[in-house]
Chains A and B, each alone.
Chain A
Amino acid sequence: MADNQFGRDAVSRRKFIAGTGAVSVAAIAGCSETSDGNGNGDELSGEVIVKGSSTVFPISDEMAQRFMDDHPKVNVTVDPTGSGGGFENHFCPGNADINGASRLIKEEEKNHCAENDVSPIEMHIAGDALTVAVSPENDWVDSMTFDELAQIWGDDSATTWSDVNPDWPDEELKLYGPDTTSGTYDWFTENVNGGTHRTEYEGTEDDNTIIQGLENSPYAMGYFGYAYYSENKDRVKALEIAESEGDDPSAPSLQAASDGTYPLARPLFIYPAEGALEREPVYEFVKFYLENTSADWIADEVGYVPANQDMVDENMTKLENAAGE
């Protein structure tokens, strides 16, 4: 091999280098041209980028899957970036078409979007019934009021059950809840505790840990999304909740959350960008999404509270207004 380095091998090597160089340049250049856009025929095609809350993710993902069954050429990508991460990194800079959120958009996020001429349209599409649960061995409590919940969860002062109610056992509270960064935590802090939340509790990103914790200790208590409760009804005992002392306590169920009798119902939103709705695939997807927000499978398969007909109508009006402009 080494003896003819300067002979004809040199030519073939140059050929090789020229060839691979050309191929590499061309490979990139060549393929960038076959990019997306509305292509052949009248079949809908294109991209829809959905980011945002991991709570809304299961609904959006299911919607994407069903939509793509009808429109196999539309690439709907769904990514749980978190409500804030989605607004900050993707939606407001104009790189996403829809952002899911488990809370209302914040003022600074609106400003950020406005800086980039992105105008989010708020659509309340479903609800999550937060469930407060205790160990199945717990026989002293069946229902609680917001006031009692706030005593337990509002700050670190309560350490035993009897601190909250003298009738309850003098045993240490073992508390499990969602992670501080989650929308569930924010909502609970805001709507139940009145703006504060204790720091001494087992915060976890995985609701399975909460279920396990409740199973393992009779003095444990925790709160989490209804979807998890519906899959683990035999492992934990859910508490009935009353907003204030005089109200009738109501057991968590999607029906109760939907008609407003269960007070721990948290709204979920999607925010399509007004500009993105001008693109047909995005418009069609959002339309499909809204039409299906009242579908039964949202309750049966995802475990969330479906939208009622009024919400669907209101959202559709918003959509038509935005697209009509």
Chain B
Amino acid sequence: MSDTSIEADLTRSANGRIAKERLYHGLLFCCAALTVFVTISIVATLAIDALEFFGRVNPYAFFTGTEWVLRSENPILGILPLVTATLIVTIVSALVAIPVGTAAAVYLSEYASDRMRSVLKPALEILAGIPTVVYGFFALVYLTPWLQGLGLDVSLFNLLSASVMVGIMIIPMVSSISEDAMSAVPDSLRQAGYGLGATKFEVSTKIVIPASISGIFSSYILALSRAIGETMIVVVAGGSRARMFDPSEPFANLLNSGQTMTAAMVQAVTTDLSGGTAGYYSMFAIGLTLFAITFSMNLLSNRIAARYREEYQ
């Protein structure tokens, strides 16, 4: 590298250039390292106050308790009702989002004409951009009355409409990541299938889906972890009464109100409870649990997705 380069910048002294490179390298590294700092602060924030909480409440009782009564005198703090409500929301939303999302992905990746794709993909993306508080509003003000109109005995706040809405919200997530995975399947595989006389249906279901299955699964996990962490829909439409799952009447659980872990956290900052009590600090213990769950699900999804990347790239 000589000083005869064409660019004015390049003609500056080599010394200054190296120093400048180092400076930028350092700055950019700081940007990337900031994300690690964010993770550490999340864990620290949650852990410090969660420790405070576990100083007052026995962790074993917390994680195995089947009753959640948040009140200023003698609160009963067992996380299981919140966990079961979260599970209900996750499962029902998965029942909505997985079939619809996967079918949409297959259609977009295998069947849709370019023109169709250019309309449907942005439309799905716009779906993904609707704020969750708006979805919550849809559930509370329109979906619940519809369900009541259909003859379902749902209460004003209920887990069913909240979960269905969470499901609709995560459809674009399932469809877009699954579609990416399906598009990553090399065309040669499809052509081999056609060469053997397979129909488009057979190619889609017996070649493309199995070949991209790890990507599809990773999209499911990501979407489910989003459903677990979803806050505003369940706060607005799901109610704030924690109820333990009642196995004797599985459907009644859906029709009643229920409180998920995220909703309990929001409630803890907006109640008449006095701060500094176990009830208040419970928010951080729930947050830590939630963080641990979503973190491990995301790790799992990364692992699975990494496998499929290795397969075809």
Contact = CB atoms under 8 A, between A and B. Distances in A.
A109 B274 contact: yes
B70 interface: yes
Nearest to A82: B271
B132 interface: no
Contact of B69 (A87, A183, A199): A199
A56 to B, nearest CB: 10
B239 interface: yes
A89 B73 contact: no
Contacts of A208: 156
B285 to A, nearest CB: 16
Nearest to A109: B274
Given A81-B270, A87-B275, A108-B276, A209 B157 contact: yes
A109 B274 CA distance: 7
B257 interface: yes
A225 B22 CA distance: 66
A147 B240 CA distance: 30
Given A6-B6, A179-B241, A180-B70, A206 B272 contact: no
Interface in B84-120: none
Contacts of B155: 204, 209, 212
A186 interface: yes
B275 A109 contact: yes
Bin chain A's interface residue count: 35 or more
B7 A84 contact: no
A183 B73 CA distance: 12
Nearest to B74: A196
B65 to A, nearest CB: 13
Given A84-B280, A88-B274, A203-B241, A181 B7 contact: no
Contacts of A89: 269, 275
Interface residues of B, number: 31
B275 A112 contact: yes
A215 to B, nearest CB: 12
B183 interface: no
A189 interface: yes
Contacts of A82: 269-273
Interface string A8-20: 0011000000000
B205 interface: no
A161 interface: no
Given A185-B71, A208-B156, A53 B7 contact: no
B52 interface: no
A205 interface: yes
Nearest to B67: A199
Contacts of A182: 271-272
A202 B271 CA distance: 18
Contact of B272 (A11, A183, A203, A209): A183
B298 interface: no
A102 interface: yes
11 contacts: A10-B7, A84-B72, A84-B275, A88-B275, A108-B274, A108-B276, A109-B276, A179-B241, A181-B272, A186-B72, A186-B73
Given A185-B71, A205-B157, A209-B156, 8 more contacts: A6-B7, A82-B272, A83-B274, A87-B275, A89-B269, A103-B272, A108-B274, A186-B71
The 7 closest A-B pairs by CB, nearest first: A88-B275, A181-B271, A82-B271, A84-B274, A180-B71, A84-B273, A83-B272
